[in-house]
A and B are shown apart, each in its own frame.
Chain A
């Protein structure tokens, strides 16, 4: 049971990393139940100690062993040490998920998919069940397909990204054959979070997908370096209740730590054991000819979690991982950025502006890159988080927002992304392979005084419309949106000035 018998306190430690030391200290200081739970998504608050008793939970952010010992040692007196708490929330005796405290960023947006995250023990099925989990295990296949019609695919690793997955499910179910389901957790931090904090939610969704189309097996695919997510999901697979499996085989497979390896057809190549990953042609899409030629659904954990929620009557939401601009403006900035990170959840269509409040941006924000590695830039986050609105603004739907500080040079930022695309593409098609090389060269020419906007835009059009896969088309977003919103910065660089003062080879722009 989630909070134990009335009167008995329960402690939870929410953390992304192994909070073993903290857990040991707490266990030594109290007889109360102590549970290690996954991250809430609000990593800046973690390790987060949650102490619950009689329908009240007290939250202690950034908890140290000494602080935690002090808090829990006073539990024996009865009541809760509310005085030192960062937040206190009254809730039902048996809440179905994390009681939301008035503590940013936990109180931003909504918590539907995130509800079990930071509350249930990730690999304990009873915890998940008491939080309302496994409800779809008895849902009819046709009802599951109906629920999926309201759910758009989430993330670039999803073969149905931004399109209702139910239509694909209907087609696969009708076609028969021997379908397979791939859970693609490779691509985005939100997917890793779901596997770390609520792996049963992703697995429940995967089993729902499998039953909806008559698939006999599920492959969970994730990046080889995601140790925690892998450990959690492997344990969860073993702990899956038998009645939920319906004879469906579930296995876990990893792919290399490369951005392109999340692309749906490259995920299939990795699972099939190819030593070299490149995109497959389409059509036909993987739902017709996928894993070993079988009709294959490829969905992210976020998509599958949405299907579970939709089957329970909930409206679609989006997970958004917001990253502050932790690094300096160039050089090793790429490596150290994101030390401030939070994953929040927004109702479909809600303004993205709330994402700007999710992390301490460390100063004023000049722009945001919306959509992950190849997201688009916008100077204003007040955009509805829906596929149509994001696409209209040239932004990505991958569920990642990077905040860029005033000292960021936009030309250098998008140039680095072009260079990344040049180095990291699979090498298959000319518009992506050679296009990224020429795009990088055209952007470098700006530093030599030649800014040929028309030529850049012509190249972007062709890369976007003729690349084999989304890697090549998405790669155009950063530059296209930078040209739209920050053309003056390109012109300044061509004149030999960097307005942000971030490019050492150019002098800082002198204020007029």
Chain B
């Protein structure tokens, strides 16, 4: 398919492989009245419980960290589950992705719902590099805001504070810096890149604890990706994971010798090679080897077979509990 594309043609959407599931439409089928903490509110077709909570405008609020309200094509990802509320009909539900069914009664302050939101927010923080003082998004970070609003003083599972476990800072692009140690996998950047800009650069890759934001052309660095530097990903990122170059230290607390870069300790730098055109995807045929083509063509089982290796079995059999995998136990 893609091999037939003209050299200058934009990427076809069917070649875009963001690695995410095809979620159904999660909004309500029709207009309905929902009672939020005792206040009845009517919301339209397509509304979610979170829309109803916002419309009710009570004192109630839920962090809804991964939710993004400014662009219909982005979200709900509903991955962070910090918007959980209790309903009479369905028990605990994620407000951001649950239909605002007519007649539904919602309690935001139910004990089990509060517990779930608190635990899930702490779980997000457990895998987040909380070096706010050297972060360019300090003071304009949605995770920081949520933690402050929820009076998080000491997250129950700690934070990602092991420098050996950090992924290198990707500082290879002249326009956008990536710090995956601050990524909460909200997927907004992937959707901005694929569903709004239709560029097909970013993807979600890996699984389990190895899940990360990567590149659809299998590049290791932003510089080697097919990024056109539109910057949409940066504008939607809730944390300091994606920041514009030049602004990466703008909000850091000035302490001599402490920077965003050396707080991580490992950096992927630009190769320094001159680039004729901004993106390989838009170079003319024959000007470069198109590494993106092969991985994005064909369909069917081949890719799945690649994915279906038995490495995990080997891993299981070679490493016993609890000291498996060369861990610290």
Instruction: Give A residues with C-beta under 8 Å from B.
Output: 224-225, 253-258, 260, 265-266, 268-270, 272-284, 288-289, 293, 330-332, 334-335, 412, 415-416, 419-420, 422-431, 433-438, 441, 443-444, 447-448, 455, 458-459, 461-462, 465-468, 503, 505
Contacts and interface: CB of A to CB of B under 8 A. Distances in A.
B313 A289 contact: no
B157 A433 contact: no
B310 interface: yes
Interface of B: 17, 19-26, 76, 78-82, 84, 91-92, 94, 97-99, 112, 115-116, 119-120, 123-124, 126-127, 156-157, 184-185, 203-211, 299-301, 303-308, 310, 312-313, 315-318, 320-324, 327, 329
B23 A275 contact: no
A437 B323 CA distance: 14
B17 A424 contact: no
Contacts of A257: 308, 310
Given A422-B208, A462-B120, 13 more contacts: A258-B308, A266-B21, A281-B76, A281-B78, A289-B24, A419-B324, A428-B21, A430-B79, A430-B82, A430-B184, A434-B123, A461-B116, A466-B92
A462 B115 contact: yes
Contacts of B211: 427-428, 433
A493 to B, nearest CB: 10
Given A283-B98, A431-B120, A433-B208, A275 B303 contact: yes
A427 B207 contact: yes
Contacts of A422: 208-209
Nearest to A260: B207
B322 A256 contact: no
Given A256-B307, A330-B321, A465-B91, A430 B124 contact: yes
B22 A269 contact: yes
Contact of B119 (A426, A427, A459): A459
Contacts of B84: 465-466
A412 B321 CA distance: 6
A428 B25 contact: no
Given A428-B21, A444-B329, A462-B119, A270 B208 contact: no
Contact of B320 (A272, A330, A459): A330
Given A275-B19, A281-B78, A427 B208 contact: yes
A281 B120 contact: no
A269 B157 CA distance: 33
A322 B325 CA distance: 30
A283 B21 contact: no
27 contacts: A224-B304, A255-B308, A256-B307, A273-B304, A274-B21, A274-B22, A275-B19, A275-B303, A278-B19, A278-B20, A278-B207, A280-B22, A281-B24, A281-B26, A283-B99, A284-B26, A415-B322, A422-B208, A423-B209, A427-B208, A434-B123, A459-B119, A461-B112, A461-B116, A462-B119, A465-B116, A468-B78
B99 A427 contact: no
Given A430-B123, A465-B92, A466-B81, A424 B207 contact: yes
Contacts of B20: 276, 278
Given A332-B317, A438-B157, A466-B94, A430 B81 contact: yes
B124 A434 contact: yes
Contact of B116 (A258, A282, A433, A466): A466
A423 B324 CA distance: 12
Given A274-B21, A275-B17, A331 B156 contact: no
Closest 5 CB pairs of A and B: A427-B211, A256-B308, A289-B24, A276-B19, A434-B123
Contacts of A416: 320-321
A469 to B, nearest CB: 10
Given A258-B308, A258-B312, A419-B321, A289 B116 contact: no
A284 B22 contact: no
B269 to A, nearest CB: 28
A331 B98 CA distance: 43
Q: Which of B76, B322, B324, B329 has its CB near the most chain A CB atoms (within 10 A)?
A: B322
Contacts of A434: 123-124, 126-127, 157
Given A283-B99, A419-B324, A435 B123 contact: yes
